[in-house]
Structure 1
Amino acid sequence: MYLISLVPTSLGYTFLAVIVTGFVFILTRWSSKSRGGLNLPPGPPGWPVVGNLFQFAHSGKPFFEYVEELKKTHGPIFTLRMGTRTMIILSDANLVHEALIKRGALFASRPAENPTRTIFSCNKFTVNAAKYGPVWRSLRRNMVQNMLSSTRLKEFGSVRQSAMDKLIERIKSEAREHDGLVWVLRNARFAAFCILLEMCFGIEMDEDSIVKMDDILKTVLMTVDPRIDDYLPILAPFFSKERKRALDVRREQVDYVVGFIERRRRAIKNPGSDETASSFSYLDTLFDLNIEGRETAPSNEELVTLCSELLNGGTDTTGTAIEWGMAQLIANPEMQSRLYDEIKSTVGDDRRVEEKDMDKMVFLQAFVKELLRKHPPTYFSLTHAVTETTTLAGYDIPAGVNVEIFIPGISEDPRIWSNPKEFDPDRFISGKEEADITGNSGVKMIPFGVGRRICPGLTMATVHVQLMLARMVQEFEWSAYPPGSEIDFAGKIEFTVVMKNPLRAMVKPRI
């Protein structure tokens, strides 16, 4: 997934921009006329040329905290000018429902990106990055119908079970080597990545290949992290080394991934050969995919991009959900005991918990829903843009601006939730509070986005998180490290929202 939410994640900007601001000002006219008579939502006054960019940098806060502060002053819809980018921030459930559900087609596009960034998306040839139109419809329809439907997901059940067994063995091995101490995120990420690799390529990979694939894709994500020239393009000449580095990373990615694409081609053409392969994979749906408005099937580079999107989109989101979930179970041992008791009452003492058991486990479902409310994968959904200039809440929303959805503004809104800062799965069991995570019946929590651009992998992700948590709790009793210490729930952005201090935990086998 190479369209990131186009918001800065941290200070991370070189103050080289301060030196050249005067030069930029000479070349760029800044006045109230730049609004073109538009009635934009309110927002903090900005500097010439750079807008609010350096005000954010000077605050020393992560961007989500900066937005949280501005929300208190300017309300649930406000404008930020980050260099040449205009951002309209939405943090109100009703406004988001109006924009993304009631008028979903109008708000379903994506803004333009720095051309350097689009090399990783093959000029936005992905489900998440494509502008609203025929390419997006073709790619999304294929992914949803041929890969992520409930029927197709069931076909990969054995892949998930195998990955869960390997996860448990990895945790046991690590615990034996380190006196019961394990890293949670690292193990969870690896398990999720292995599932997605087999779903994507349909071929067996050794661990060295898996690790290298993961390293390459993580490098890609770091390479597309926002830079100051995304907001002040005039500074692009100062980032020639970074652009060259991006091209080098892209070449390495393509060269490596194409090898596995060709292995899948050979496996399809020569069934029963030495190539160990599954009967079906995501790649199979892409080789001859008919794209509206195009006469050719996806090229190898486009196949690399689409495969990488699937892998990136489901690995870190699942891994971080497991890390936060285990942190909550350690911090709330009564919840851990309650979940373990539910597992035992559902499956007994003589078999492992399976996917078919998930529908019977009320507390597990409530726990995961509360996990997604309290710890969504990101603070901002992927950036939206309108297909044509419109209005919202009485303000103008111009075509081309970034429409950013601030997720905690909704999932922690005290007007929607009782005690929103508290982690309480029982809110979904008591019947007093409920939420449709698709947002169709009303926006209350949107961990996967909402509307036409909602994450197509929402069902798959929920299955993976539920199954992984259930197996980990069934096999081990989890406790804090160092023993008796309190869990630090501070978060930070690393593509997804991870724990600021990565979770290490003590495990004790239950059997």
Structure 2
Amino acid sequence: MGLNIEFFSSAKKMKALLWCFISNSNKGLPPGPKALPLIGNLHSLDPQLHTYFASLSQTYGPICRLWLGKKLGIIITSPALAREVLKDKDTIFANRDVPAAGSEFSYGGNNILWSPYGPKWRMLRKVCVRDMLSCSTLDSVYALRQRELRQSINYFYSQKGLPVNVGEQMFLTVLNVITSMLWGGTVKGEERDSLGAEFRHVVTEMSALCSIPNLSDYYPGLARFDFQGVTKKMKVLVKRFDKIFDSMIDQRQKLDRNGVGQESKDFLQVLLKLKDESDAKMPLTMIELKALLMKYYGQDMIIGGTDSTSNTIEFAMAEIMIKPDVLRKLQQELEAVVGKDNIVDESHVKQLPYLYAVMKEVLRIHPTAPVLVPHCPSETCTVGGYTVPKGSCIFINVWAIHRDPSIWKNPTEFRPKRFLDNKWDYSGNDFNYFPFGSGRRICAGIAMAERMFMYSLASLIHSFDWKLPEGETLEVTEKFGIIMKKKMPLVAIPTPRLSNPKLNSNEGLPPGPKSLPLIGNLHSLDPELHTYFASLSQTYGPICRLWFGKKLGIIITSPALAHEVLKDQDTIFANRDVPAAAREISYGCNDILWNSYGPKWRMLRKVCVRDMLSCSTLDSVYALRRRELRQSINYFYSQKGLPVNVGEQMFLTVLNVITSMLWGGTVKGEERASLGSEFRYVVSEMAALCSIPNLSDFYLGLAWFDFQGVTKNMKVLLKRFEKIFDSIIDERKKLDRNSVGQESKDFLQVLLKLKDEADAKMPVTMTEIKALLMDMIVGGTDSTSNAIEFAMAEIMIKPDVLRKLQQELDTVVGKDNIVEESHIKQLPYLYAVIKEILRLHPPAPLLAPHSPSETCTVGGYIVPKGSCVFINVWAIHRDPSIWENPTEFSPERFLDNKHDCSGNDFNYFPFGSGRRMCAGIAMAERMFMYSVASLIHYFDWKLPEGETLDLTEKFGIVLKKKMPLVAIPTPRLSNPILYE
């Protein structure tokens, strides 16, 4: 009996000591429920943590504590305290509480989600936000997103009238989108599908592991024992990821080493390029590269990628189906912006304010991460007057704040209209509404999440009506997890609502206006094709179709789709759609403009770029260019004070320059002047013929009849050219045989020398020499002279631009000196002016039409083999979503050297891009800049009395001014000798 009394007495003392210890350990901490020794409050946790935490705040206030085993949890449930943690003390709370599983699959916390705050984390976030998830990078991989979403719409269409698990299908869609953006340009076909299946399996396994409450997280001292095997299992999954990553990285590096696949852009390519270019002081390692990729497939993916986006879409669909009036408003908005005979494109999303309000309301009621990703203070501090020890686990209950009745009216009701005033955004600055967090650790993937959510939801709502299976009821009960899910999956029946079945398929043609039998859309064509095509894109989207008689035309009006055609599928689109007149003028497509892509074309382009238009060759014929331009300046001087047709004179100048470079060292004196006159006439006639809409191009079966006589008339003109060519070629051969005129170098001499030295397997024929000469004359003259005319007109309208140009010229050239080509490199403002002219008035506003060599898809639509594909560069260059004040002539926008004409920037590519990019850029740039610099330096310009200047364009083979520029030159240099 005495022993029992002693035992119970000792037990009471032990209990008192334990409670005393617990009480002391809670001193100064926020209030909270009583904790038991060792297990703390683990015994009382509710699986629905977000609602359990919200109920605790009702009892203990907006900041309270819980003991999770040996780990202290602090729960924040008010905007003011959330601000204190995420803004006022952002640096202290910038670290994460890293779970054992998170540390394992982030390669030891080497990603931006779990990495400790510091220089390395800042570098990784910069890489992620600036390079991987920037607007320009997301734009460049839009085609990959579009392809996957179109396949999903096609799947729903195949299940019309049947119950479908919406969340499950959208999970697969988003995962496919992310894998496509990751390496969709590196891996294709069956290999990509196989990798996608493997990823889906591993992601599901990871998600299950991360959802298991892990003793290693609650008792860090026991972590090394891994009692539940979570770390061990995660290591196995990471090895599977690693194997895939290594395979993909090796494949991309091989492609890059061999110069293959550069056009197929994806995130993997971006990261490998950044790794190679990274700063030695803060390198991007291969481990970090993998961890950033894992960002989309590890816990970041679950929180910020696949699961989060697909679950949010599922919640949205459920809430919309409960509210028929919301569904009706959404569909009305989509019909007004997209149209019922069109499919949703990402470019439409900006014009859908009600859809945007729906998304914001879904993120309010069902935030993706209801208690955010836990923060961890790097030092002991106070929050709300309470002590928060270093190393605590901080939960911000966004879910509860978003449903606080003191902030939100009818907080549990789904009411998108509360967001129509644009009062709220998710930038993290408003602590009443911050679904993606705030401060330094705010979600890095907002831009991608927003695009994917809006694009997906708009497509589902626009393409289908939705109803529940018979006898089923809809509820939106939540299930807490790593991210918020619907407790019961949304199973719904899709009913197609678009009249054209092809719009629900990824195999249909692009949308377009209705066509008539036989004539197609010929009856509705506007002569100003570039503006007409731009207006069509406003109605039908960035890719649309037109029927030109029996020929299908495809019109591209977005940088992303231009990238897809000219880079991603460059080889397929490397051929031209050859009109009958062009076939004739190019000696049966024996030139570089119209020749089919293949060994012969590559040889001709090599001849043109390496031998005819190389910097050294252009330098060697500079004297010929200079002579002709000096004669033009002399002509304008002779007309001082008189009205002069600037465009006409510059056409003659450029033609004389080109013919001089072609054979200026062969033909001299009166004979050269006579030949130049003949050429001017024939070139003008050819240009007129090429501008005539030709039935032979629209109805290929009728080409043989040549009803309009275009081919016949072109043959007559070609014979006149042929006669001139033969005469000049014979004369050059005589000079070469007699070793006369070797010092007088010109292009003809270069070509004849190449013909004699050509490889027997791939010779340069006399026909090809003539075709190349024809390209130079017909392709170079009009385009350059019209660009100069547009430049002079724009400059005259803007006196401040004229003044800046003349000041720059006076500084570099001097008022007692003449302009030389060598000065051009020192004239950055002139270069900006030239770029701006080429933006506003690209010489070929639709480029030369491409034609696919096989049937393929672009933007999710079928583009049949042999179609005529137009890239509307003119419209892209004036897109207000790309350019600020796009119709304004503002050379300053190019002073930062951000854009060039290399064809790698699909916001600005006046000379095209890819294999068929203009071969004459170097010559055009020299001639354009040299001419404009000379005209501006030597003369002031004004309009004749009573005249006004307009810039109306006239569509043709090249873009022209509708009304010729007639202006009066006034010499501005004091020395008359400078004009001789």
Decide: shared fold, TM above 0.5. yes
- CA–CA distance in 2 between the matches of 1:259 and 1:47? 50
Q: 1:240-266 CA distances to partner (integer Å, 9 max, x unpaired)?
A: 744433322222221122211212222
2:436 paired residue number = none
- CA–CA distance in 2 between the matches of 1:407 and 1:491? 15
The number of residue pairs the alignment matches comes to: 463
- CA–CA distance in 1 between the matches of 2:768 and 2:956? 25
Tell me, yes or no, if structure 1 residue 41 matches structure 2 residue 503: no
- CA–CA distance in 2 between the matches of 1:242 and 1:408? 28
Cα deviation for residue 39 of structure 1 reads 1.7
- CA–CA distance in 2 between the matches of 1:199 and 1:81? 42
Q: Is the 8 A contact 2:838 2:910 kept in 1?
A: yes
- CA–CA distance in 1 between the matches of 2:582 and 2:781? 21
Cα deviation for residue 507 of structure 1 reads 1.0
- Describe the SS at the equivalent of 1:78: strand
- Describe the SS at the equivalent of 2:967: strand
1:127 paired residue number = 592
Specify which of 221, 243, 250 is matched with residue 718 of structure 2. 250
- CA–CA distance in 1 between the matches of 2:823 and 2:750? 30
- CA–CA distance in 2 between the matches of 1:241 and 1:397? 31
- CA–CA distance in 2 between the matches of 1:111 and 1:231? 11
Where relative contact order (Cα < 8 A, 6+ residues apart) is larger, the structure is 1
Specify which of 343, 346, 371 is matched with residue 809 of structure 2. 343
User: Following superposition of structure 1 onto structure 2, how do residues 231-250 of structure 1 map, counting pairs within 5 Å?
Assistant: 231-236=698-703, 237=705, 239=707, 241-250=709-718
- CA–CA distance in 2 between the matches of 1:294 and 1:170? 49
Tell me, yes or no, if structure 1 residue 118 matches structure 2 residue 583: yes
User: What's the TM-score, normalizing by structure 1?
Assistant: 0.85
User: Following superposition of structure 1 onto structure 2, how do residues 216-235 of structure 1 map, counting pairs within 5 Å?
Assistant: 216-225=682-691, 226-235=693-702
CA distance 1:298–1:136, change in 2 (3 Å): same
Specify which of 415, 419, 424 is matched with residue 881 of structure 2. 415
1:436 paired residue number = 900
- CA–CA distance in 1 between the matches of 2:812 and 2:578? 50
Q: Is the 8 A contact 1:321 1:377 kept in 2?
A: yes
Deviates more, 1:155-164 or 1:233-242: 233-242
Cα deviation for residue 305 of structure 1 reads 2.2
The code of the aligned residue for 1:439 comes to G
1:455 paired residue number = 918
- CA–CA distance in 2 between the matches of 1:164 and 1:112? 34
- CA–CA distance in 1 between the matches of 2:520 and 2:569? 29
- Identical-pair percentage: 29
1:400 paired residue number = 866
Cα deviation for residue 402 of structure 1 reads 0.9
2:356 paired residue number = none
The code of the aligned residue for 1:185 comes to G
Q: Is the 8 A contact 2:612 2:750 kept in 1?
A: no
User: What's the TM-score, normalizing by structure 2?
Assistant: 0.45
Cα deviation for residue 291 of structure 1 reads 7.4
- CA–CA distance in 1 between the matches of 2:614 and 2:770? 22
Tell me, yes or no, if structure 1 residue 150 matches structure 2 residue 639: no
- CA–CA distance in 2 between the matches of 1:457 and 1:110? 17
- Describe the SS at the equivalent of 1:456: coil
Cα deviation for residue 233 of structure 1 reads 3.9
CA distance 1:61–1:214, change in 2 (3 Å): closer
Cα deviation for residue 42 of structure 1 reads 1.0
Specify which of 532, 539, 543 is matched with residue 77 of structure 1. 543
- Radius of gyration: which is bigger? 2
1:357 paired residue number = 823
CA distance 1:288–1:387, change in 2 (3 Å): same
- CA–CA distance in 2 between the matches of 1:200 and 1:128? 18
Q: Is the 8 A contact 2:508 2:862 kept in 1?
A: yes
Deviates more, 1:207-216 or 1:69-78: 207-216
CA distance 1:469–1:217, change in 2 (3 Å): same
Specify which of 894, 908, 919 is matched with residue 445 of structure 1. 908
Q: Is the 8 A contact 1:138 1:292 kept in 2?
A: no
Cα deviation for residue 284 of structure 1 reads 2.6
Tell me, yes or no, if structure 1 residue 493 matches structure 2 residue 959: no
CA distance 1:367–1:122, change in 2 (3 Å): same
Cα deviation for residue 235 of structure 1 reads 4.8
2:799 paired residue number = 333
Specify which of 956, 964, 969 is matched with residue 507 of structure 1. 969
1:159 paired residue number = 624
Cα deviation for residue 234 of structure 1 reads 4.9
- CA–CA distance in 1 between the matches of 2:795 and 2:538? 32
CA distance 1:340–1:295, change in 2 (3 Å): closer
Q: Is the 8 A contact 1:355 1:467 kept in 2?
A: yes
- CA–CA distance in 1 between the matches of 2:807 and 2:746? 37
Q: 1:107-128 CA distances to partner (integer Å, 9 max, x unpaired)?
A: 21113543x6522212110111
